[in-house]
């Protein structure tokens, strides 16, 4: 298969303990040899769809460009990347949802997105099987923009190591964040999904952030006081939070408010320092699977203490950072 002609490849399949999957290119199909077994994935319009780049789900950067190496090591799995524990937690929530609502399609649905060669796709499928991940949707873009696919899948969140693609997704109204490979990652819960968000520029508009950057902390407090009864406009990840809330309510409806396997946190700070107080120590206590912030100061600080932190390149914070 030759990707140099700019073709977009798509793939679909099922896996875990007897999985089938395929990467398709102009009618030619390459398949692993294991039989199909798992139920069909939910329809995209019913699911909470998480699109994850192969480079953040697995650690594959050191060798991903060497096709010959990938073919020779086809049966050697990639090691887990920064998004791995997050995806495993999504699966744990799905298990609980299926127990409570056997016929419901309101589940997390993970789509693996990659621009690698199809032969690398075989290694990815083998890796998914090795780690017992339940991922049935694969999208190989051949280096093209993933936006069309993200829209077709009604994507609620896109995670990628490619900041340019993340910015493109945000510009198209798709919740997205840049994820980084980091040396230290704290152990996190295997049974409860924990997601932490910054406020301004992530869940909410950066209106308050603009006041703070332009006029300082005193004017910021004056503005907040004057507008305390007016809700902030939505930010780029508000829709994703709402999708999480929709699934949380399914547990609440069964009387499981205290035993809900989805927890969300708002972690925000404001001080006289231009970037605010450090959030890393608080996140170290919460131990979320993933944390979103629009300022690299907080992303880097969280990562240093072992939290998987993602950058949301949105709003005034990005303009200030470029100066």
Tell me the DSSP string of 199-223: TBTTTB-SHHHHHHHHH-HHHHHHH
The CA distance from 102 to 95, in Å, is: 10
Q: Which of 157, 179, 201 is the last residue of a domain?
A: 179
Is residue 123 predicted with pLDDT exceeding 70? Answer: yes
**Residue 187 belongs to a domain:** no
Q: What is the pLDDT of residue 117?
A: 67
**Residue 287 belongs to a domain:** yes
**Residue 290 belongs to a domain:** yes
Looking at the structure of the chain, the number of domains it has is 2
Among all chains, which residue has been given the structure tokens 């203490």? 305
Residues 154 and 271 grouped into a single domain:
no
Q: Which positions are annotated as active-site residues?
A: 198
pTM to 2 decimal places = 0.81
Tell me if 111 sits within 8 A of 50, measured CB to CB. Answer: yes
Is residue 109 predicted with pLDDT exceeding 90? Answer: yes
- Write the CATH number for 220: 3.40.50
Residues 308 and 169 grouped into a single domain:
no
Mean pLDDT over each residue of the chain, to the nearest integer: 80
Tell me the pLDDT band of 3, cut-offs 50, 70 and 90.
Answer: very low
Percent over 70 (pLDDT), the chain: 70
Residues 126 and 208 grouped into a single domain:
no
Residues 200 and 55 grouped into a single domain:
no
Domain that holds residue 227: 193-322
Tell me the DSSP string of 119-183: HHHHHHHHHHHHTT----EEEE-TTS-SHHHHHHTTEEEEEES-HHHHHHHHHTT--EEEE---S
Tell me the pLDDT band of 269, cut-offs 50, 70 and 90.
Answer: confident
Q: What is the pLDDT of residue 319?
A: 60
Residues 197 and 108 grouped into a single domain:
no
**Residue 207 belongs to a domain:** yes
**Residue 188 belongs to a domain:** no
């Amino acid at each position: 298969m030759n990707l140099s002609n700019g073709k977009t490849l798509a793939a679909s399949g099922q896996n875990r303990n007897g999985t089938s999957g395929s990467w398709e290119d102009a009618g030619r199909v390459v398949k692993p040899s294991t039989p199909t077994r798992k139920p069909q994935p939910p329809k995209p319009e019913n699911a909470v769809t998480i699109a994850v780049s192969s480079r953040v789900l697995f650690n594959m950067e050191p060798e991903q460009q060497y096709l010959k190496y990938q073919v020779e090591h086809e049966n050697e799995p990639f090691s887990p990347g920064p998004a791995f524990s997050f995806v495993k937690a999504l699966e744990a929530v799905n298990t609980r949802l299926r127990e409570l609502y056997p016929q419901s399609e309101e589940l997390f649905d993970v789509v693996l997105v990659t621009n690698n060669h199809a032969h690398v796709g075989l290694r990815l499928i083998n890796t998914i099987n090795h780690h017992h991940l339940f991922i049935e949707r694969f999208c190989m873009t051949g280096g093209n923009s993933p936006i069309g696919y993200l829209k077709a899948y009604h994507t609620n969140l896109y995670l990628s190591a490619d900041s340019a693609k993340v910015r493109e997704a945000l510009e198209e109204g798709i919740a997205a964040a840049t994820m980084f490979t980091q040396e230290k990652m704290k152990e996190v819960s295997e049974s409860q999904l924990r997601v932490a968000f910054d406020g301004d520029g992530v869940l909410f508009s950066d209106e308050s952030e603009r006041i703070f950057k332009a006029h300082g902390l005193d004017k910021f407090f004056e503005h907040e006081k004057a507008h305390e009864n007016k809700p902030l406009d939505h930010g780029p990840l508000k829709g994703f939070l709402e999708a999480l809330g929709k699934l949380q309510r399914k547990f609440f409806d069964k009387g499981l408010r205290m035993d809900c396997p989805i927890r969300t946190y708002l972690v925000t700070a404001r001080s006289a320092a231009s970037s605010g107080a450090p959030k890393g120590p608080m996140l170290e206590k919460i131990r979320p699977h993933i944390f979103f912030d629009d300022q690299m100061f907080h992303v880097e600080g969280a990562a240093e203490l072992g939290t998987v932190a993602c950058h949301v390149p949105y709003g005034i914070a990005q303009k200030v950072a470029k100066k």
